[in-house]
Structure 1
């Protein structure tokens, strides 16, 4: 029996809720994967080192940890539908904060704007993921989340290309070396011109978010209502009594950390190796993630179970870590075989393995959510908030990556991902089955 009770007046078809949630997942992807292009951009205009530049991911993802539980209380008071509208409003404010940040080229203001955007996304993610899990049979929840992932990562493919077209067009000398060669007055003028190019894209984003507030607020999206948890937890008083959720949050911490590393550092890594199209390298990772989600949509649960998908993802991730840290930084043989025939620019083998991490871990998020939320009943909102807090891995693990990159080199820093994939393997084999801490 599903943990969701049918909302009053809810339509029988899940098409409308899936469509609206799909639009929200596109926004998640658009805002989230813009960071991959922002990092090398802000590194240059704010004159940062690699470690400082990765505070972009810290400011954005730490919001999920700081704000997840407060946002779950908002959901409890307002309901899921109004909570989504509030989240979109917070994101619109965050988008507008990019205007003074860009006009002043002040890195601290950029980080504040990113934190506000992350806060808005926190409430949206806390509300929307349970919707997708409970809108149909639990066994096919990973398939539905994979559809959302396709939309999310499709936005991730588009964002770096749009960023390059709208912000970097005509900037053939966009590099730290070019700016360093200018005198102080010329450099200040160039930085001001570059940062001002961010203003209009974020104005467009704010307008789109306001439109979406109306779409969600006035739609017939049904409210979620949950039954009591299963018999083994009928006397539960808090979410920490559900091991599958707590361990699931740790698994998502590991997953999001390595996902962000694969998507947001590939541009820095490529730039360091002299790859010409470094600003668009995030698109390569996103394309591989889209392929992974297509596998989820077509194969779960007909061919593979959610548990099997999680096991396969973790093992493939381990193999990609070995490839990223040990493969050649000069040879492009793997890319030549995979897509060289298509005319898409090829990249070094080591960078290719970083991009293929996207394929390796694509099904972790869709698989963990239904496994972790099973049987929570009225604790679903708290469980969702705890899982969302796992997104803080995107704040912390890239900083660990940055520190290793400073003291060793960027290629060796990808070893940070190995323990992440190993914990996900543990969760796939045992962690999701635990129903008590004894």
Structure 2
């Protein structure tokens, strides 16, 4: 196998990682209503699914970067895949023992693997090949996240949500029979995660067998004193805040959709899962459309416009009724599509020697996905109306709009002249 063929194979395997972690993330919205029902949880308690996942990003962001620096990308990717697979297989004893906390531990382990994979795959896809086409390669690879967002809810709902009893049937059962029935429903989550775990181990084996092309270092001279020293860059501080609120908004919208849509529009969970797939398609189309628009409109301005459109649609999601609320949320997914990569790129701009630490801080800010959906759930439970939970994404988009208009501007007395990498 020549160098060109090896590079192509490596890129195909790297691209598969984007799809796989996108698929895992987009199974979470299917898990939430199933576990909420099986363990008789409040909406706030059900959002611990997201907390378990996104706390891992905060905990593992710096260790993942250190692992890559010490042992290389190949070891990092294989380690991430094995952790990912281990978490998937933990769903079997979790379902067998019927402990909600066991499910949360399994999700935390999965997310630890995902953190390592994302830390490795994003820069590796960028530099694997001609440097002039790095941005295009990364955008192409990231598009598979959108594909997974479209497919996972449709596939997962038909494996997990179609088996079970109606609420009326459960009411007629004895307490023992009802517990057995709900336990059987919770066990439906095992099969998709077992299959996913097997696929992950096969891909880890392929990575172990091939020789990954070496990549050049970014060429930065490390001069930052410590990770929080990077926050002297005002635009990075704004970027960390914007990313925190963005991820919180995205997780609130996607993960709670299967609880939101049946109440706001009166549709079934299966139908809601199909519309969640439509949200994924809108997200994918929005990413391509946003990339094209950035040729004409400056990224921070487009980011601000998209944030304003999203917060206006949040008002429809809060005060509307019927299918218009579902269409509003699909619209929000379209406008959210460019936010993560755009905030990331603007946040690390002109950081010089602080670039690596700045990147770690932006990854750590993903912890917003663990905190803000909990607030969404608390508002929903306190008011008895899940639509009011959209107050949380509304506030998030206000912060993002401010970042797009003024917070992104580079502001520091002394900025390193070292070039920043292309993200």
Q: TM-score range by the shorter chain?
A: 0.7 to 0.9
1:393 to 368, 378, 384: 368
Could you tell me how far apart the structure 1 residues matched to 2:17 and 2:219 are? 26
Shift of 1:350: 1.5
The aligned residue for residue 293 of structure 1 is: 287
The aligned residue for residue 258 of structure 1 is: 249
Shift of 1:240: 3.1
Counterparts of residues 346-425 of structure 1 (less than 5 Å): 348-376=323-351, 379-408=354-383, 409-425=385-401
The aligned residue for residue 238 of structure 1 is: 226
Alignment gaps of 5+ in structure 2: 415-423
For the structure 1 residues 289 and 143, does the alpha-carbon distance in structure 2 shift closer, same or farther, using more than 3 Å as the test?
farther
The aligned residue for residue 87 of structure 2 is: 94
Q: Does 1:69 align with 2:44?
A: no
The aligned residue for residue 131 of structure 1 is: 124
For the structure 1 residues 400 and 113, does the alpha-carbon distance in structure 2 shift closer, same or farther, using more than 3 Å as the test?
same
Counterparts of residues 48-87 of structure 1 (less than 5 Å): 48-87=41-80
Encode CA deviations 1:333-365: one digit per residue, 9 max, x unaligned: xxxxxxxxxxxxxxx112221222110110011
Counterparts of residues 293-332 of structure 1 (less than 5 Å): 293-297=287-291, 299=292, 301-327=294-320, 329-330=321-322
The aligned residue for residue 115 of structure 2 is: 122
Could you tell me how far apart the structure 1 residues matched to 2:296 and 2:6 are? 25
Q: Does 1:204 align with 2:171?
A: no
Indicate the larger mover: 127-136 or 361-370.
Answer: 127-136
Give the count of matched residue pairs: 405
Tell me which stretches of 4 or more aligned residues in structure 1 moved more than 6 Å.
Answer: 136-142
Could you tell me how far apart the structure 2 residues matched to 1:224 and 1:404 are? 48
The aligned residue for residue 421 of structure 2 is: none
For the structure 1 residues 174 and 395, does the alpha-carbon distance in structure 2 shift closer, same or farther, using more than 3 Å as the test?
farther
Encode CA deviations 1:346-404: one digit per residue, 9 max, x unaligned: xx112221222110110011212333334456654433322111211111010010111
Indicate the larger mover: 361-370 or 106-115.
Answer: 361-370
Counterparts of residues 11-22 of structure 1 (less than 5 Å): 18-22=11-15
Backbone CA RMSD of aligned residues: 2.7
Alignment gaps of 5+ in structure 1: 1-8, 331-347
Counterparts of residues 159-308 of structure 1 (less than 5 Å): 159-171=152-164, 173-175=165-167, 177-217=168-208, 218-228=210-220, 235-242=223-230, 243=233, 244-273=235-264, 274-276=266-268, 277-297=271-291, 299=292, 301-308=294-301
TM score, norm. by length of structure 2: 0.87
Q: Does 1:434 align with 2:410?
A: yes
Could you tell me how far apart the structure 1 residues matched to 2:390 and 2:409 are? 30
Could you tell me how far apart the structure 2 residues matched to 1:181 and 1:378 are? 66
Q: Does the 8 Å CA contact 1:79/1:223 hold for their aligned counterparts?
A: no
Q: Does the 8 Å CA contact 1:10/1:222 hold for their aligned counterparts?
A: no
TM score, norm. by length of structure 1: 0.84
Could you tell me how far apart the structure 2 residues matched to 1:49 and 1:275 are? 20
